[in-house]
Amino acid sequence: MPQARWAARLADGLSPYWRWLFVIAFVGVTVLALWPGNSRLPVLLGWHVVNHLAAFIVLTMLARAAWPLLGRIWLFAALMVHGAAIELLQSLPVINRSMSLYDWGVDAVGIGLGLVMVWIAGRLSGEPW
C-alpha cells in the first residue's frame, strides 16, 4: 500500500513535533473546557458531545504519536484523569459551568475511538501500534 507507506514516512518526519502538537492541543482543549459559562463560547462542531469526542480523539492520537512506548491502558487512564479533572473544575463557582458524568463518559468513548483509529492506522501502515 503506497499510501500507507507515505503516511508512515510523514508521521516519522513529524516525530520531533508530536509532543509539541500534543501540548498545544492539550492546552487548547483545557482552556476551552474551562471557559467561564457566563460568556458565550462558540460550540465549535455544532453539538457539545461532538466537541468532547473530537477533542479526546485528537488528544489520544497525538499522545500515542508523541509517546509510542506508553501502554494503551496508561494512555487511556491518563486522559481519563484529565477528563475527570476538567469535569471537577467545571463545578467550581468561578467557572460557572456544571460537572457532568455524561460528558466524562463521552470523553472515554472519544479516547476509545482514538485508540481504534491509531490501531487502524498502524495496521494500514504495517507498523505496530
How much of the chain is in helix, strand and coil states, percent to nearest 5? Answer: 75, 0, 25
Contacts for 34 with CB less than 8 Å, ≥ 6 apart: 86, 89, 90, 95, 97
- Listed by start position, the domains of the chain span 2-125
CA distance 125 to 129: 10
Q: What angle do CA 42, 27, 127 make, to 5 degrees?
A: 110
**Tens of pLDDT along 3-16?**
555 555 555 556 77
pLDDT at 122: 83
**Grid coordinates belonging to 35:** 471557559
Q: What is the pLDDT of residue 82?
A: 98
pLDDT in tens, 48-105: 788 899 999 999 999 998 988 889 999 999 999 999 999 999 999 888 888 889 999 9
pLDDT above 60: residue 29: yes
pLDDT of residue 25: 97
pLDDT (0 to 100) of residue 86: 95
Note the pLDDT of residue 69.
86
Tens of pLDDT, residue by residue over 32-44, are: 899 887 666 555 5
One DSSP character per residue, 9-65 reads: HHHHHTGGGHHHHHHHHHHHHHHHHTS-TTS----TTSSHHHHHHHHHHHHHHHHHH
Query: Are 49 and 106 a contacting pair, CB within 8 Å?
Result: yes
The 10 Å Cβ neighbour count of residue 53 is 19
Average pLDDT, the chain: 85
The pLDDT, as a whole number, for residue 44 is: 59
